[in-house]
Amino acid sequence: MNIQRWISRREANWQRLSTLLRQLEKKGLHTLCAGEIRELASLYRSVTADLARARTQQLGNTLIQSLQTLTTRAYTQIYQGSRRQEWQAVVDFYRWGLPSVVQQTFPYIAFATTLFIVGALVAWWYAWQDPTFMSLIVPENLITKVRDEHKLWMGSIVGVEPLASSGIAINNITVSFGAVAGGITAGAYTTFLMVLNGLSIGAIAALVGQNKLAYPFWGFVFPHGSLELPAIFFAGGAGFLIAKAILFPGRYRRSEALKLYGSQAVQLVFGIVPMLIIAGTIEGFFSPSPIIPDAFKYLVGMGLFVFLVLYCSRKRSN
């Protein structure tokens, strides 16, 4: 191989790649047009092949080192720049995308919330009217502890906070994903989960109310429930979006409706997971703590809920 001829033929590409990299390093990716970005990727592959050939032919340490430096710079800008864009997309989603999709899908979230509230009210009313009704929903050991010992059961978390926190988060995520997946049953399983969870909280609310333990109970629930319950409602809304695509695709073909509403459901899921992780951490470490006054727990819970409402109401300014 004629080394000088090969170098002279390839050198223009090396110089062009170096020029694009200098612009990228100084001014950022947004200064390159689409054609220049494609050219950058093509030149990177070409120069990488030149480096491999130079090493194989042992064309001298100076040339190899120069090509190595050039490919390293290109790799750094292409792949780290791509990762920066990915992280920026994540940040933008949680800043603006999630609030937007919550607003767009609010009727479905509201329907899930309504089912939960109806279940809670029905259970609360029947539990006060008929003592035997409560035993159908609330585990007997909880009923015994509250009625006979006049104690709440959350103290068992104290001392095992890390294990409890992770277990709570996993359980809540499992329930939420079940509500989302329930959309494929035309929403029947999602409806069942929303009503069942409502029945459970309603019956427990009646139990603690009958035994004068409502204040500490809700003091326990408020801090994590301000995020946990809305996350479950979001999951229910996601399930009903999928159900809508199956049952009422409207002017879309069913496959198109599933893509459209399924995309919104997935975005809700991306919002649900961090909410449940934070709620699980609060429920494991903060909510059951006996050294934190109940009044402060109420204040934290209400503050978190107000923050969530304001966050979900925000709109991107044009």
3-state helix, strand, coil in the chain (%, to 5): 85, 0, 15
- Give exposure, 179-198, as e/b (b: 16+ Cβ within 10 Å): bbebbbeebebbbbbbbebb
Q: Within this chain, do residues 276 and 137 fall inside the same structural domain, yes or no?
A: yes
Q: What is the mean pLDDT of the chain?
A: 83
Per-residue pLDDT band for 236 (boundaries 50, 70, 90) equals very high
Report the range out of 69-73, 78-82, 195-199, 285-289 with the highest average pLDDT: 195-199
Give the end of a domain, one of 95, 129, 146. 95
Q: Is the pLDDT of residue 99 over 70?
A: yes
**Does residue 142 form part of some domain?**
yes
User: pLDDT digit string (tens) for 147-165?
Assistant: 888 887 765 544 444 444 5
**Does residue 137 form part of some domain?**
yes
Confidence at residue 157, expressed as pLDDT on a 0 to 100 scale? 42
Q: How many domains does the chain have?
A: 2
User: pLDDT digit string (tens) for 110-134?
Assistant: 999 999 999 999 999 998 888 788 8
Q: Is the pLDDT of residue 172 over 80?
A: no
**Does residue 183 form part of some domain?**
yes
Q: Within this chain, do residues 254 and 292 fall inside the same structural domain, yes or no?
A: yes
Q: Within this chain, do residues 134 and 199 fall inside the same structural domain, yes or no?
A: yes
Range of the domain at 275: 105-313
